Amino acid sequence: MEDLKYLPSPVEEATIRVSAEKSATASLILPMMERFIKHDFVSKTTDSPLIKKAKDAIKTDLMKRYQSEDVRKLLGMATVLDPRFKNMVWISDEQIVVFNTLMTEMSQELDKVKVKTEFDTEIIESVAQSTESVQSENPNADVIDVKDEHLNLVKKPKLDASDDDFFDILFIKEEKSSESNQSVMKTEIERYKTETVSMKQDPIEWWKIKREIYPNLSMCACKYLHIPATSVPSERVFSTAGNILNKKRGQLTADNVDMLIFLYHNYKR
C-alpha cells in the first residue's frame, strides 16, 4: 500500500488540468493518454508484483478509451490546433489524416463566411428596395436609408478610373478560386507546423496574437479549442446554483439567479 499511494499522482494532476474552465482542455486528452500508456503505467524491473499488476490493469483500461472514430477525430483536431502539441510525433500515423481533415474544415469555414456575406447582402438589398417603395408611396415618410447605411459594411474594391489595373475587377473571382484557397490554406498549415511554442504557453492567448497571420486556421482553432474535455465545468454551475438558491433565499427570481451565477463564474477573482 505504501508503494501504491504514489501511483495515482499523474492521474490526479491530469484530472485537475482537464477540469479547468478558462483554458483549452480537449487538446490535452491525447497527449495525456500517450504519457500514461507509454510512460507512467509501464512496468519497470524495480516494481513490486503488486505495482506491476496495478499498472497493467490501469493501462489495459485506458487503452479501451477514446477509440470511437468520431471522438478520435475531434480530439485529433483539437490536438493539432493546440500549438504546443501540433506535431504529434507520438501518433505520426494519424498526423497526415488529421491535417487533411483540417484542410476540409478550413474550406467549410470559408464557405460559411462566404454564404453569410452573400446572405447579408441579399437582406440589405431587400430592405433597401422596401425602403424605396415606401418612400415612393409616401415621400414625406420618415424612413431611414438602410441601403446607404448598411451596404457600407460590405467591403467592395475601390475603383479608380486612372488606375492601369482598371479591368482587374473582372478577374476577382478567378483570383479567389477554390484552387487558390487551397494553396493559401496549405501554406498556412506548413508555416504553422514550423512554429516553436513553449509548453507553458496558453494556446488561446497564442491564437489571439497569431489570428492575423493564420486567419483560416484561427477559425478552426476557435471551434475546437473551446470544447471542454469534461463535464466538470457544467457540474460546477449546478453546484453554484445550489449554493445561491436555498431555503432562506427562495424568493429570488429566475432572472436574478441567472445573473448571480453568471457573475460568480465570470468575475475575475
What is the tens place of the pLDDT at every residue in 242-254?
A: 888 888 888 889 9
The total number of structural domains in the chain stands at 2
Q: Are residues 188 and 244 in the same domain?
A: no
Q: Are residues 193 and 111 in the same domain?
A: yes
Q: 176: domain range?
A: 99-197
Residue 174 has pLDDT above 60, yes or no: no
Is residue 139 situated within a structural domain?
yes
Find the mean pLDDT for residues 89-95. Answer: 62
Is residue 225 situated within a structural domain?
no
Q: Are residues 192 and 244 in the same domain?
A: no
- For 227: left if phi > 0, alpha if psi spans -120 to 50, otherwise beta; the answer is beta
Is residue 8 situated within a structural domain?
no
Q: Are residues 257 and 186 in the same domain?
A: no
Is residue 49 situated within a structural domain?
no
Please state the length of the chain.
269
Number of C-alpha atoms within 13 angstroms, CB side, residue 3?
Answer: 10
Q: Is 103 exposed, middle or buried (0-12, 13-18, 19+ CB in 10 A)?
A: middle
Domain boundary among 197, 218, 243: 197
Q: Are residues 156 and 238 in the same domain?
A: no
15-29, 163-177, 178-192: lowest mean pLDDT where?
163-177
Residue 157 has pLDDT above 50, yes or no: no
**What separation, in Å, do the N-terminal and C-terminal C-alpha atoms of the chain show?**
39
Alpha carbon distance 155, 92 (integer Å): 42
Q: Are residues 255 and 166 in the same domain?
A: no
Q: Are residues 193 and 237 in the same domain?
A: no
Q: Is 221 exposed, middle or buried (0-12, 13-18, 19+ CB in 10 A)?
A: buried
Q: Residue 84 corresponds to which amino acid?
A: R
- 260 — pLDDT class (breaks 50, 70, 90): very high
Q: Are 209 and 83 in contact (CB under 8 A)?
A: no
Q: Are residues 115 and 183 in the same domain?
A: yes
Is residue 190 situated within a structural domain?
yes
Find the mean pLDDT for residues 100-126. Answer: 65
193 Cβ contact list (under 8 Å, min separation 6) = 86, 87
Alpha carbon distance 193, 234 (integer Å): 34
The pTM of this model reads: 0.66
Q: Residue 6 corresponds to which amino acid?
A: Y
Q: Which residues of 115-149 are buried (b: 16+ CB within 10 A; e: fewer)?
A: eeeeeeeeebeeebeebeeeeeeeeeeeeeebeee
Find the mean pLDDT for residues 107-115. Answer: 67
Q: Are residues 112 and 193 in the same domain?
A: yes
Is residue 52 situated within a structural domain?
no
pLDDT at 60: 92
Place of cell 447605411: 149
Which value, to the nearest 10 degrees, does the dihedral of the CA atoms of residues 153, 159, 165, 171 take?
50
36-50, 58-72, 131-145: lowest mean pLDDT where?
131-145
Q: Are residues 193 and 246 in the same domain?
A: no
Instruction: Compute how many other C-beta atoms are within 10 angstroms of the C-beta atom of residue 82.
Output: 25
